Amino acid sequence: MPKRILIINGPNLNLLGLREPDKYGLQTLESVNDDIAAEAAKLELEVGFFQSNSEGALVTAVQDAFYSDDTYDGIILNAGAYTHYSIALRDAISAIKIPVIEVHISNVHAREEFRHTSVIAPVCSGTIIGFGTKGYKLALHSFL
């Protein structure tokens, strides 16, 4: 059975392609997800997609990936700005027993000081930062 990986994108990532293209590129989220799906097919992984601007909805998606009838073997998570302060999201990641890979499109360490801290990094299995939207596809390889 192929491993099932859930791709979760947080706040404002629905605006990819429109939002600050100098930082996040010109690709829409739909097009990024198409690329991820194509890479996943090559790697014989199954993928699901979820995006929300709401912290609670993201917490529930993380929980459900492990504690529901529709479970996954891992999560690739770009939590957007929640990365920097959501203890609720961190606790949800701690509560599940599948690996979570943190992804950031931009190099957060080359940006404002407040983006240098990730409250979720210590409870994630690994982090991919600054490789553009390609980062999601790179993260898929960690599940092979």
Is residue 89 near ligand DQA by the rule CB under 6 A? no
Tell me which stretch binds ligand DQA (CB under 6 A): 46-54, 75-83, 85-93, 120-128.
Answer: 75-83
116 is catalytic: no
CB of 1 to ligand DQA, least distance (A): 31
Residue from 72, 82, 104, 136 carrying the catalytic annotation: 104
The contact pattern for ligand DQA, residues 2-41, with x = CB under 6 A and - = no contact, is ----------x-----------------------------
Q: Is 100 in the site for ligand DQA (CB under 6 A)?
A: no
State the nearest-atom distance from the C-beta of 140 to ligand DQA, in Å.
16
User: Would you call 104 a catalytic residue per the annotation?
Assistant: yes
Q: How many residues does the chain have?
A: 144
Q: Which of 83, 96, 101, 119 contacts ligand DQA by CB under 6 A? A: 83
Q: Among 100, 115, 141, 124, which residue's Cα sits nearest to residue 7?
A: 100
Per residue, the 3-state secondary structure of the chain, as one string, reads CCCEEEEEECCCHHHCCCCCHHHHCCCCHHHHHHHHHHHHHHCCCEEEEEECCCHHHHHHHHHHHHCCCCCCCEEEEECHHHHHCCHHHHHHHHHCCCCEEEEECCCHHHCCHHHCCCCCHHHCCEEEECCCCHHHHHHHHCCC
Residues with catalytic roles: 24, 104
Residues of the shown chain interacting with ligand DQA in the complex, contacts defined by CB under 6 A: 12, 78, 80-81, 83, 104-106, 108, 115
